[in-house]
Structure 1
Amino acid sequence: MLRNAVRSLWAEPRAPHPPRRVWRDWVLVGLLVPTAIVEGVLHDPLVWRPVATLLGVVFAVALLWRRTHPFAVVAGTFGSLIVLDLAILLTVREPVGLTTMIFVVLLPYALWRWGSGREIGIGTVLVLVTLALGLTVDRTGLVDSVLGSMFLLFPATLGAAVRYRASARVRELDQVRLREREQLARELHDTVAHHVSAIAIRAQAGRVVAVADPGAAVDALVVIEAEASRTLTEMRIMVAGLRADEAAALGPQPGVADLEQLARSTGPRPRVELELSGDLDDLGPSVDAAVYRIAQESITNAVRHARDATRIDVRVAADADCVRLTVRDDGEAGSAGPVGYGLVGMTERATLLGGSFEAGPGPDKGWTVEAVLPKSGAAG
């Protein structure tokens, strides 16, 4: 897991949604700048007093950009410290710096929390070089060196842990949103496509009979209005299901009991014949909804694509363990089998419920769809 975390950090261009400067940074800088100035004036002895004081103030002010530009702040700060340590080794060989500058331990955290992958790598090298030169200049013992190294590097570890947790949370939320959108897309396709097909059929029929029988055209408009209202209602229910309120989840899902109404809503041609057999009262809710949706999609495909079809047979049969849905039309051979999101969605529904789905040309003519689902909806 650690290797995957490091790999993801290296490949990640930048932590998601890096924050802007916050009020805490201003307060911190407001405290550190005067402290650095006071220590630079009063601390004694202090080698290279003007240089140490200036660096303390500049590094403190740079904290304002540690969230938005972590690598630039780390490179500037630790790069300056490297140059300073090299100059010390070549000259006075005495530590130069303010105790106030201990705040630089915040920078490795910022680098690993908000920097990009390559910035983290380069910035960490600068931190380690600075650490090595600092230990050489200070000439500390082994124990102090180990403790000092841990003190400087622990914030980097903490920053990496916080970043990984935040990134994992973002990815998890993205996956949830993606699944919700896919589900909504399937529901919209299954429901709206059926109603729109019925509206189109009724509109075509009304146009044909408008001149000869205006009353029939008016009846067609009434049916179109009803179908459009149902479509809008179901769309509102499905979209509301994505909201975080409990009332939206109370909308009933259509099931086997609604197949009769579905059969009547397609109109006189092609005629839909429905046959129900077996005990269909104890179906799991997901299976009940899946039978309806698969039947709806199959009927919609037959109405839209089955050429010269006059009849669509829908049969739902249940036995002790499973329910079988069969939809057949009498159109031209192989004329109702579009390969698209509809068939993919039906296959996914059946598979997720532990069942099976098949679709293909009928033995004589038309198209046959058959789905077998466990009554409980539990995958085997």
Structure 2
Amino acid sequence: MLRDDLRTLWTEPRPPDAPVRVRRDWALLAAGLAGVALEAALRENVVWRPVAVGFTVWLCLLPLWRRTRPLAMVTLAFGSVLLLQVASLVAAPHVPVGLDTGAVVLVLVYALPRWGSGREIVLGGSVIVTVGAVCVVTYESPVVEKIVGFVFLLLPGVVGAAVRFRVTARERQLDQVRSREREQLARELHDTVAHHVSAMVIIAQAGRVLADADPSAAVEALEGVEEEGARTLEEMRAMVAALRDPGVGAELAPPAGVADLERLVRTPGDRLKVDLGLDGDLDSLPPALDAAVYRIVQESVTNALRHAVDATEVVVRVAAEQHTVRVSVRDNGRRTGRGRDGYGLTGLRERATLLGGTLRAGPDADRGWHVEAELPRARSESRGHSRPRR
């Protein structure tokens, strides 16, 4: 078990989309250089002042590459610390060299488990522990202070690992949400296609029964339609069965659509007034699009009920145009927290993308929260796929 865990850690890749450099990197560099200047000017008991200043400036520069080269930066920083420690012991025993601003090296300890691969974490962690142990042993200080100093050195690494675990867990949950949304859409598409294919099979069977005068060519064609339709239906059922999670039963009820919005907007207890407006030809929407419109309104109204503080009204507008359907849901409440997209909105955005549309969600210009979606009536109009006319 332990060997498997170590192998998994060793092969762990780096987190994707690590930013190369952001504003706070330059702010950290400026703060570090300012700290070096202040210490060099104001501290009187600095040993080897030019060396200490140059060494600390070097440490302040290394965090600029901590996300893209975490192992290299840790090796350079702690290798330099080790060399300086050895030099100080040889030339001036028991006298530490360096400035307090050199504590910026703790940023590299954090960045290693946060942005490094498993191999980099193992190798870099070995370097940190080795150099830290050497420094702790060579300093003449009480044992308690040595232990506290060593723990203080490793603590940023623990924080970095915890942050990475949290972000990875959220990404995994988002992937599961997207997967479930794809599965639900596949079920709805399956129900739609199955209906038309079943009708095709029935018509073909009726054509065989009603064919008179033994039109062999027509019967042959009808037999081909029947055979192809039955095969398509069977393959579609097998595909959706493979997409479903084990133990999840089929939903026998048809998916809700625009026709069910009137019932949806009757909120429990009438805590919120929901103003529903429907415009255009919404009766002939493709089933997948019809269900998507309902899901967007349902999730948006539910979010307003749960998260909109002091909200009194939700305005829902669904407008069908020649080529697109636009959905807009606004509330007049306040949002608490950081306003990060929840799993529901992530699923809706995935569904809109699969249908060839877009979905945006965020604070409104005046007050409240606004969800806006634009969905094509025919997927071919946005993706370039052909679609047969019925």
Q: State the TM-score, normalizing by the size of structure 1.
A: 0.52
Q: Does 1:55 align with 2:55?
A: yes
2 CA distance for matches of 1:247 and 1:61? 46
Q: In structure 2, the residue corresponding to 1:13 is in which secondary structure?
A: coil
2 CA distance for matches of 1:173 and 1:246? 16
Q: Which amino acid aligns with 1:121?
A: V
Question: For residues 64-103 of structure 1, what are the structure 2 equivalents within 5 Å?
Answer: 64-93=64-93, 94-103=95-104
Shift of 1:97: 0.7
**Max radius of gyration: which structure?**
1
State the 4+ residue runs in structure 1 displaced beyond 6 angstroms.
1-7, 199-206
Verify the 8 A CA contact 1:13 1:117 in the aligned structure 2.
yes
Shift of 1:199: 6.6
Verify the 8 A CA contact 1:108 1:155 in the aligned structure 2.
yes
Verify the 8 A CA contact 1:240 1:248 in the aligned structure 2.
no
Verify the 8 A CA contact 1:180 1:242 in the aligned structure 2.
no
1:273-300 Cα distance to aligned partner (Å, 9 max, x none): xxxxxxxxxxxxxxxxxxxxxxxxxxxx
Shift of 1:200: 9.2
Verify the 8 A CA contact 1:192 1:231 in the aligned structure 2.
no
2 CA distance for matches of 1:243 and 1:14? 35
| Alignment partner, residue 119 of structure 2 | 118
2 CA distance for matches of 1:51 and 1:194? 80
| Alignment partner, residue 214 of structure 2 | none
Q: In structure 1, the residue corresponding to 2:286 is in which secondary structure?
A: helix
Shift of 1:41: 4.4
| Alignment partner, residue 28 of structure 2 | 28
Shift of 1:240: 4.0
Shift of 1:56: 0.8
| Alignment partner, residue 274 of structure 1 | none
Shift of 1:30: 1.0
Verify the 8 A CA contact 1:36 1:100 in the aligned structure 2.
yes
Task: Give the 3 Å change call, closer, same or farther, for CA 161–117 of structure 1 in structure 2.
Answer: same
Shift of 1:140: 1.8
| Alignment partner, residue 147 of structure 1 | 148
Q: In structure 2, the residue corresponding to 1:104 is in which secondary structure?
A: helix
Q: Does 1:234 align with 2:287?
A: yes
Task: Give the 3 Å change call, closer, same or farther, for CA 4–178 of structure 1 in structure 2.
Answer: farther
Shift of 1:39: 1.8
Verify the 8 A CA contact 2:188 2:287 in the aligned structure 1.
no
Shift of 1:29: 1.4
| Alignment partner, residue 38 of structure 1 | 38
Q: Which amino acid aligns with 1:234?
A: P
Structure 1: gaps spanning 5 or more residues: 210-228, 250-380
Shift of 1:204: 12
Verify the 8 A CA contact 2:185 2:288 in the aligned structure 1.
no
| Alignment partner, residue 228 of structure 2 | none
Q: Which amino acid aligns with 1:233?
A: P
Verify the 8 A CA contact 1:33 1:61 in the aligned structure 2.
no
Task: Give the 3 Å change call, closer, same or farther, for CA 34–162 of structure 1 in structure 2.
Answer: same
Identity between Structure 1 and Structure 2 (%): 47
Structure 2: gaps spanning 5 or more residues: 212-281, 303-390
2 CA distance for matches of 1:244 and 1:141? 65
1 CA distance for matches of 2:4 and 2:23? 34
Shift of 1:201: 8.3
2 CA distance for matches of 1:59 and 1:158? 21
Q: In structure 2, the residue corresponding to 1:62 is in which secondary structure?
A: helix
1 CA distance for matches of 2:65 and 2:294? 42
2 CA distance for matches of 1:248 and 1:240? 12
Q: Which amino acid aligns with 1:181?
A: R
Shift of 1:67: 3.0
Verify the 8 A CA contact 1:37 1:57 in the aligned structure 2.
no
Q: Which amino acid aligns with 2:132?
A: L
1 CA distance for matches of 2:200 and 2:285? 13
| Alignment partner, residue 269 of structure 2 | none
2 CA distance for matches of 1:230 and 1:192? 19
Task: Give the 3 Å change call, closer, same or farther, for CA 246–161 of structure 1 in structure 2.
Answer: closer
2 CA distance for matches of 1:4 and 1:230? 57
Shift of 1:79: 1.7
Verify the 8 A CA contact 1:16 1:167 in the aligned structure 2.
no
Q: In structure 2, the residue corresponding to 1:149 is in which secondary structure?
A: helix
Verify the 8 A CA contact 1:237 1:248 in the aligned structure 2.
no
Shift of 1:177: 1.3
